[in-house]
Structure 1
Amino acid sequence: MFNEESFQGLWGHVEELRKTLLRMLIIILAGFLIVLLFYQSIFSLLSPQNSNESNLSNQQSNLTKQLLQRERVVNSSNKSIFFTLPDGAHIIETETNVPHGGHHNFEIKPRNYIVYEIPVNTTKLLILSPLEGFVLTLKICFWIGFAITSPIWGFLILKFVMPGLRKREKCVIVPFSIASFFAVLIGFSLAYFFTLPFANQYLAAFNSDIGMNAWSLANYYDYTLILFMGHIIAFEICVVLMFLVHFRFLSAEWLKEKRRYMIVFAFVLGALLTPPDVLTQLILALPLVVIYEFAIFYAKIRSKTSDASQYHVRVDC
Structure 2
Amino acid sequence: MSSTQDTFISHLVELRDRLLRAIVAILVFFVVLMPWAGDIYDLLALPMMNTLPEGTNMIATGVVTPFFVPVKVTLLVAFLIALPYVLHQAWAFIAPGLYAHERRIGLPLVLGTTLLFLLGMAFCYFFVFGTVFKFINDFAPASIMVAPDIEEYLSFVMTLFIAFGITFEVPVVVILLVKAGVVSVAQLKEARPYVIVGAFVIAAIITPPDVISQFMLAVPMILLFEVGIVIARMLSKPVPAAKGDYAAPSEDEVDAGLDRIEKTDKKGD
TM-score range, shorter chain: 0.7 to 0.9
What's the TM-score once normalised by structure 1's chain length?
0.69
Instruction: Select 1:214's aligned residue among 147, 154, 165.
Output: 147
**Which region of structure 1 is more displaced relative to structure 2, 265-274 or 13-22?**
265-274
Q: 1: CA distance between counterparts of 2:171 and 2:226? A: 11
Structure 2 residue aligned with 1:156: 89
1:217 positional shift: 1.2
Cα displacement string for residues 172-201 of structure 1 (whole angstroms, at most 9, x for unaligned residues): 011111111211221011110111111111
- In the alignment, residue 3 of structure 2 is paired with which amino acid? E
- Equivalent residues of 1:194, 1:280 under 8 A apart: no
- 1:130 equivalent to 2:63? Answer yes
- In the alignment, residue 51 of structure 1 is paired with which amino acid? T
Structure 1 residue aligned with 2:220: 287
**Which region of structure 1 is more displaced relative to structure 2, 125-134 or 285-294?**
285-294
Structure 1 residue aligned with 2:49: 49
- Equivalent residues of 2:60, 2:149 under 8 A apart: yes
What's the TM-score once normalised by structure 2's chain length?
0.81
Structure 1 residue aligned with 2:13: 15
- 1:177 equivalent to 2:114? Answer no
* 1:190 alignment partner, SS class: helix
1:219 positional shift: 0.7
- In the alignment, residue 30 of structure 1 is paired with which amino acid? V
Matches within 5 A, 1:88-107: none
Q: Aligned in 2, Cα 1:52/1:180: closer, same or farther, shift over 3 Å? A: closer
Q: Aligned in 2, Cα 1:16/1:44: closer, same or farther, shift over 3 Å? A: same
- Equivalent residues of 1:248, 1:299 under 8 A apart: no
- Equivalent residues of 1:126, 1:217 under 8 A apart: yes
Q: Which has the larger radius of gyration?
A: 1
Report which of the two has the higher share of strand.
1
Structure 2 residue aligned with 1:192: 125
- Equivalent residues of 2:179, 2:236 under 8 A apart: no
* 2:8 alignment partner, SS class: helix
Aligned length: 244
- In the alignment, residue 121 of structure 2 is paired with which amino acid? F
Q: 1: CA distance between counterparts of 2:162 and 2:194? A: 23
* 2:13 alignment partner, SS class: helix
Structure 2 residue aligned with 1:40: 38
* 2:144 alignment partner, SS class: coil
Q: 2: CA distance between counterparts of 1:193 and 1:201? A: 13
1:231 positional shift: 0.7
- 1:296 equivalent to 2:229? Answer yes
**Structure 2, unaligned runs of 5 or more:** 250-269
Q: Which 4+ stretches in 1 moved above 6 angstroms?
A: 306-310
Q: 2: CA distance between counterparts of 1:132 and 1:305? A: 58
- Equivalent residues of 2:174, 2:232 under 8 A apart: no
Report which of the two has the higher share of helix.
2
- In the alignment, residue 285 of structure 1 is paired with which amino acid? A
1:21 positional shift: 1.1
Q: Aligned in 2, Cα 1:43/1:8: closer, same or farther, shift over 3 Å? A: same
* 1:208 alignment partner, SS class: coil
1:275 positional shift: 4.6
Q: Aligned in 2, Cα 1:269/1:7: closer, same or farther, shift over 3 Å? A: same
Matches within 5 A, 1:59-138: 119-121=54-56, 124-138=57-71
**Structure 1, unaligned runs of 5 or more:** 54-118
1:311 positional shift: 3.6
Report the RMSD for the aligned CA atoms in angstroms.
2.5
- Equivalent residues of 2:170, 2:225 under 8 A apart: no
1:307 positional shift: 9.9
